[in-house]
């Protein structure tokens, strides 16, 4: 008999060689019908895998992230079979699951593929799926594996196998198809009921631009046709909300090939939007005891060698700037924290003066590959709402919790209500990825976990996701389409104070090392605006809108009254403009709707005579004819509901 420990801590005994499916059957028929893969002692296995030792078992269904990965990876095998059959002689490389679906990188050789070929590929995939072919894993010797792919004349698989050890190589078979694979598949192909190929793109073998270019085919699959239908509807909505499309339509930002890829240009409305976001956070920061600082866009190379950023970012970042002076090198700033360390180091401090909280909207630069750039979410120059707190170890707990309060205030004011917190810890098996002592890491990690618990956050722990200098608390926000984004981060750092030899005089008149907290509620202004655009579809909270109202005069006879209304709104700090073009009122309303202006104020003969305005909300709701004072109160009331004081 073997003992199987389940996630709830319960232990069950089974006969040796029992399978995860046997375990599922012992729990319930419903689970057995829905289980699609498993994890045994940290390794992905099939539900048919014989279990021969005691161990921990996790069963996955479609509702689990790992279950979806198994589902999508298995479908990539089905797609690979279809591609081999439809395009004889192609060379397959790798086909992993991704966050939404899967892809397979393929060398198509003399063949070509485009989106017009998708229907026939999808049809063949569904044919294969309906065959209900079992996925079967088998161990293969290195020699046999190499021989198999040499006969297929597939240099990519040969290269992969050459880097593997004998005894760790496995093939997965289904129907007439065989693929090199580590494992983790569906019970059979019949579980896949709906497939959709999404796009094709170029991809270098192993991400190296010096290696052959392959064709990457993206797809997604589901256990029910209605799931696919809902997903495709979501994709259509996402296209409408694409921040690149909305940013252009709302005249917020643009890009220029002459300026350079990944370097956004903020147009007047976008710059004003950014300024409002900055002022909103600056006001809250001032109340929380932060002081504004400013640091340069470059620093001597030695600064980033000291901080460790050069070792981590140097090779993949912009190359050093050399001056006429021999051996003098500067770097574009990849992070603000080294500069803030030197600001703290500018004079001695007493424990009575701590904590020091330095805040800066600091622009940083990192060289991203051109293929990874994406609108405002992945750029080469971006502004972080950075702040660094230097405190005593005794102050760390309260300071960390204060930062959590600030992050939650930001989210609440901008309509991000659905989020979880992620405690990102170091990977103990890869210590070379990090700087600093194990003791300091343990203290920092425990401080974050304690603060998250005390603030009652819904949090998960992710090992291996820490920054190289310290663990962090990341906020994973779900937008209106249910997509998850990392927004806002707080990090505890014992290492940079060591590297920069920071100190303060304690109550014992001796030098002590401060603890450093890094925090950025927005993350970066560029990425935050992109996510906010897609979350709100451009319908920002009223306090943030570029224009809160537009005044539409029925004809030029009422332009003076329109101007009078505008002056009154501006005197009440309401952002508005007048549309007095010689166009029909219908066209003016349609264009105001397209520009997502929250309120349309229509003025004509009746309004001028009675000293009122006719108000229409974005979306079509007619508020009728009201007094100006009533409208001002309406605006202020709506703003106060979302923008509360910190």
Look up 391 and say whether it is catalytic: no
The values of phi and psi at residue 286, to 5°, are -60, -40
Q: Among residues 69, 157, 518, 588, which one is catalytic?
A: 518
Give the Cα separation of 372 and 207 in Å (integer): 11
Of 105, 172, 285, 337, the active-site residue reads: 337
Q: How far is CA 210 from CA 87, 204, 205, 207, 213, in A?
A: 26, 8, 9, 9, 9
Chain position carrying tokens 């050789």 = 109
Instruction: State yes or no: is 535 an active-site residue.
Output: no
- The one catalytic residue among 157, 179, 380, 384: 384
Task: Tell me phi and psi for residue 17, to 5 degrees.
Answer: 75, 10
Instruction: Kindly name the residue from 105, 107, 386, 493 that is annotated as catalytic.
Output: 386
Per the annotation, the verdict on 386 as an active-site residue is: yes
Q: Among residues 197, 182, 223, 177, which one has the least CA distance to residue 67?
A: 223
Residue 111 is a catalytic residue = no
Q: Is 172 a catalytic residue?
A: no
Cβ-Cβ contacts under 8 Å for 343 (sequence gap 6 or more): 293, 295, 358
The Cα 242–Cα 228 span in angstroms is 20
**337 in catalytic set:** yes
- The answer to whether 124 is a known catalytic residue is no
User: Which member of 157, 174, 339, 388 is catalytic?
Assistant: 388
Contact 512, 351 (CB under 8 A): yes
Q: Which residue has the tokens 């485009």?
A: 114
Annotated catalytic residue: which of 366, 519, 575, 616?
A: 366
CA-nearest of 339, 359, 363, 356 to 282 is 359
What DSSP string runs through 115-179? GGGHHHHHHHHHHHHHTTPBPEEEE--HHHHHHHHHHTT-HHHHHHHHTS-TTS-EEEEETTEEE
Query: Which residues contact residue 35 at a Cβ distance below 8 angstroms, ignoring those fewer than 6 apart?
Result: 20, 21, 24, 47, 59, 60, 61
Q: What end-to-end distance do the CA atoms of the chain give, in Å?
A: 60
How many Cα atoms occupy the beta-carbon half-sphere of 216 within 13 Å? 18
Catalytic residue among 69, 77, 472, 535: 472
Residue 446 vs residues 209, 405, 452, 516: alpha-carbon distances, Å = 42, 19, 10, 15
- Catalytic positions are 337, 366, 384, 386, 388, 472, 518
């Amino acid at each position: 008999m073997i003992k199987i420990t389940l996630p709830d801590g319960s232990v069950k005994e089974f006969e040796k060689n029992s399978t995860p499916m046997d375990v599922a059957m012992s729990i319930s028929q419903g689970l057995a019908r829905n289980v699609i893969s498993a994890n045994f002692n940290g390794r992905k296995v099939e539900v048919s895998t014989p279990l021969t030792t005691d161990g921990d078992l996790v069963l996955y269904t479609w509702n689990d992230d790992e279950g979806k990965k198994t589902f999508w990876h298995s479908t990539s095998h089905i797609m690979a079979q279809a591609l081999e059959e439809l395009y004889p002689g192609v060379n397959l490389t790798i086909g992993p699951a991704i966050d939404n679906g899967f892809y397979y990188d393929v060398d198509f050789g003399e063949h070509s593929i485009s989106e017009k070929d998708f229907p026939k590929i999808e049809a063949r995939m569904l044919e294969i799926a309906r065959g209900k072919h079992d996925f079967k894993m088998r161990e293969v010797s290195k020699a046999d594996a190499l021989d198999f792919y040499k006969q297929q004349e597939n240099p990519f698989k040969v290269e992969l196998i050459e880097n593997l050890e004998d005894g760790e190589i496995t093939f997965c078979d289904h129907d007439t198809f065989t693929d090199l694979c580590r494992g983790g598949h569906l019970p059979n192909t019949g579980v896949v009921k709906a497939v959709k190929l999404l796009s094709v793109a170029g991809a270098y073998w192993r991400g190296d631009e010096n290696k052959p270019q392959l064709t990457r085919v993206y797809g997604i699959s589901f256990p029910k046709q209605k799931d696919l239908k809902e997903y495709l509807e979501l994709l259509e909505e996402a296209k409408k909300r694409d921040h690149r499309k909305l940013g252009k339509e709302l005249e917020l930002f643009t890009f220029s090939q002459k300026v350079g890829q990944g370097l956004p240009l903020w147009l007047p409305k976008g710059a004003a939007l950014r300024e409002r976001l900055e002022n909103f956070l600056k006001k809250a920061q001032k109340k929380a005891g932060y002081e504004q600082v400013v640091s340069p866009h470059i620093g001597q190379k030695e600064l980033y060698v000291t901080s460790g950023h050069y070792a981590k970012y140097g090779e993949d970042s912009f190359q050093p700037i050399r001056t006429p002076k021999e051996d003098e090198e500067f770097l574009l700033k990849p992070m603000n924290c080294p500069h803030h360390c030197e600001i703290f180091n500018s004079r001695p401090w007493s424990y009575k003066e701590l904590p020091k909280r330095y805040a800066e909207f600091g622009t940083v630069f990192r060289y991203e590959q051109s293929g990874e750039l994406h609108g405002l979410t992945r750029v080469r120059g971006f502004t972080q709402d950075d702040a660094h707190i230097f405190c005593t170890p005794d102050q760390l707990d309260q300071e960390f919790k204060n930062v959590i309060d600030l992050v939650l205030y930001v989210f609440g004011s901008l309509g991000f209500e659905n989020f979880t917190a992620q405690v990102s810890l170091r990977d103990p098996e890869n210590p070379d990825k990090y700087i600093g002592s194990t003791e300091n890491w343990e203290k920092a990690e425990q401080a974050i976990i304690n603060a998250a618990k005390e603030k009652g956050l819904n949090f998960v722990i992710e090992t291996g996701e820490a920054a190289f200098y310290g663990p962090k608390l990341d906020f994973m926000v779900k937008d209106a389409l249910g997509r998850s984004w990392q927004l806002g981060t707080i990090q505890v750092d014992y290492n940079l104070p060591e590297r920069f030899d920071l100190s303060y005089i304690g109550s014992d008149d001796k030098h002590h090392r401060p603890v450093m907290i890094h925090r950025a509620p927005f993350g970066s202004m560029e990425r935050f605006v992109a996510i906010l655009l897609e979350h709100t579809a451009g319908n920002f909270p009223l306090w943030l809108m570029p224009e809160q109202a537009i005044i539409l005069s029925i004809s030029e006879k009422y332009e003076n009254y329109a101007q009078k209304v505008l002056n009154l709104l501006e005197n009440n700090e309401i952002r508005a403009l007048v549309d007095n073009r010689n166009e029909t009122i219908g066209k003016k309303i349609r264009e105001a709707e397209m520009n997502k202006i929250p309120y349309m104020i229509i003025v004509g003969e009746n309004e001028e005579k009675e000293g009122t305005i006719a108000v229409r909300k974005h979306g079509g709701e007619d508020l009728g004819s009201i007094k100006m004072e009533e409208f001002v109160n309406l605006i202020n009331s709506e703003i106060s509901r979302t923008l509360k004081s910190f």
